[in-house]
Structure 1
Amino acid sequence: MNFASFSADGQSFYGAVAEGGMVALNSVCPQWPTLLDVIEAGALAELEKVAEGRPVTHEDYEFEMVLPNAKRILCVGVNFPDRNAEYKDGTTSAPKYMSLFPRFASGFTGHNQPLIRPPENQTLDYEGEVAIVIGKAGRRIAQDDAYDHIAAITICNEGTIRDWVRHAKFNVTQGKNWDRSAAMGPWLVPFKEASQLDDARILTRVNGEVRQDDVLSRMMHPIRREIEYISTFMTLQAGDIIVTGTPTGAGARFDPPRYLKPGDVVEVEVNGIGTLVNTVADEVL
């Protein structure tokens, strides 16, 4: 059973994804006002039991970013071998340490919603990735224990305004946090076994054309290592999101670059999770 945040009739809800619509669970579980509260309470399994057999409450709705009130989102950059080679910086071996940068929930939208291209710059790009949601807090987590700290997994299109990641020498934050430039969803899939990540494959299509195609097992810094490394310097909390890295094939790496434009349709598919679909639109001022 998968869970999503959604809106209907001007209100926000969370609930279970069902055939034919959504099963809103807010009023059934007032102790957990949002899906983030469910994660923080370690109650996904309990929520599954609550949702079992309940009828669809909403047939007409819009997806929101899966955790619209997420407090901390940390992204791993340049984490596939071919992606590392794209930088052509003279290095031939995998980097010893991973690249990291923060994103904020305001930069994300939901499934079937448009990625927003701002008027200041038109280098909006896509990056298909798997995201993990921490379910159990921990510090200095060993790799062997890392998967025990994951509550759920989802899909991210880590949309980026490329020119703005080059505004300064050592940071990319301003190119990674434009409002609604990225998407996360469609839903959270409870994490129950290692194969959900170890056997996952990322496919990104733009207007039906495959642009990215790779498997998580080729990551230079596997997810177990990401959790170990990040939890060395900060205590991971329930509800934290780690966006784990994108394969080669982003629009910036074509010659000439192939950036997103209004009307484009971007699909990020991950087996065992689903497909995150977004259109592209210019910001309305």
Structure 2
Amino acid sequence: MRFATFQAGGETFFGAITDAGAIALNDALPQHDSLYDIIAAGAFDQLAAAAAGRAVTHSDFTYEMVMPNVRRILCVGVNFPDRNAEYKDGSVQPKYMSLFPRFASGFTGHNRPLIRPPENHTLDYEGEVAIVIGKAGRRIAAEDAYDHIAALTLCNEGTIRDWVRHAKFNVTQGKNWDRSGAIGPWLVPFTDAAQLDDARIQTHVNGELRQDDTLDRMMFPIREEIAYISTFMTLQPGDVIVTGTPTGAGARFDPPRYLKPGDVVEVSVNGIGTLSNTVEDETV
């Protein structure tokens, strides 16, 4: 079962996605206003039951960022061994993972354009798996980490590369341009460790394979990410962790291959699906 946020007829809905279309479930769970609110309230399991036996309500709809009102998004940087080598600084694998925040305003939905701002044209792609926390926890043991995941989704963690170099110790300003990245198309309930342990992530740009790796090669596996992050902050239902991108981003080519208007970026992971976006220049 897949669950998404979508627009149809000028209204925003959350619901289930089938091969035939979307099933709006707002009226089935009227006490909740969004997928984020449902997960935060511990009611995610109720969605599948609510969708059972219901007919498709919308065959013509537009995807939104899957949780547009999510409160906390944490991203793990430089998390594949070849990715660390891309920096060509001679550094060994770091002892601790790199983390930075992103905000919901920086993301759009499936089949929506990524926006390249006029201030800088170094818009880059980063295909990643994102996990959604379903059970709160502090100082979570790595062996228990998967018990705290409610759902999986995909992320194109779009970055304005020049702007991550504006300061010495942070990348926040290069990572949060409005609609520079995407999360979606949907949430897939997390039910089996193999959904992550056997996952392969691929990113294509205009049909060309640019990124291709497996999550089991992460320097900091997802279990460790949850354990480490929950050491300093209590993870709450609805929190999103974007888990890291493989080698092959546009900035690492010589010369760099940044995104331009008309490009199509597809991030695919077996068992989750494909997140697809075009690229447009911002209208100012």
Give the TM bin, normalised by the shorter chain: over 0.9
Work out whether 1:53 is the aligned partner of 2:53: yes
Matches within 5 A, 1:1-285: 1-91=1-91, 93-285=92-284
Residue range with higher mean Cα deviation, 39-48 or 1-10: 39-48
Tell me the distance in 2 between the aligned counterparts of 1:132 and 1:199: 15
Runs of 5+ in structure 1 lacking a partner? Answer: none
Q: Paired residues, what number?
A: 284
Tell me the distance in 1 between the aligned counterparts of 2:50 and 2:262: 40
Q: Which amino acid aligns with 2:185?
A: P
Q: Render the CA deviation track for 1:66-90: whole Å, top value 9, x for unaligned.
A: 1000000000000000000011122
Tell me the distance in 1 between the aligned counterparts of 2:140 and 2:102: 22
Tell me the distance in 2 between the aligned counterparts of 1:154 and 1:251: 22
SS at match of 1:102: strand
Q: Which amino acid aligns with 1:163?
A: D
> 1:19 offset after TM fit, Å?
2.1
Tell me the distance in 2 between the aligned counterparts of 1:196 and 1:42: 21
Aligned-residue CA RMSD (Å): 0.6
Tell me the distance in 2 between the aligned counterparts of 1:123 and 1:58: 37
Tell me the distance in 1 between the aligned counterparts of 2:179 and 2:11: 19
Q: Which amino acid aligns with 2:105?
A: S
Tell me the distance in 2 between the aligned counterparts of 1:192 and 1:28: 23
> 1:27 offset after TM fit, Å?
1.3
Q: Which amino acid aligns with 2:163?
A: W
SS at match of 1:116: strand
> 1:38 offset after TM fit, Å?
1.1
Q: What stretches of structure 1 move > 3 A for 4+ residues in a row?
A: none
With the length of structure 2 as denominator, give the TM-score of the two structures.
Answer: 0.99
Residue range with higher mean Cα deviation, 239-248 or 18-27: 18-27
Tell me the distance in 1 between the aligned counterparts of 2:31 and 2:46: 12
Q: Which amino acid aligns with 1:90?
A: G
Tell me the distance in 2 between the aligned counterparts of 1:27 and 1:49: 13
SS at match of 2:84: helix
Q: Which amino acid aligns with 1:49?
A: A
Tell me the distance in 1 between the aligned counterparts of 2:57 and 2:282: 32
With the length of structure 1 as denominator, give the TM-score of the two structures.
Answer: 0.99
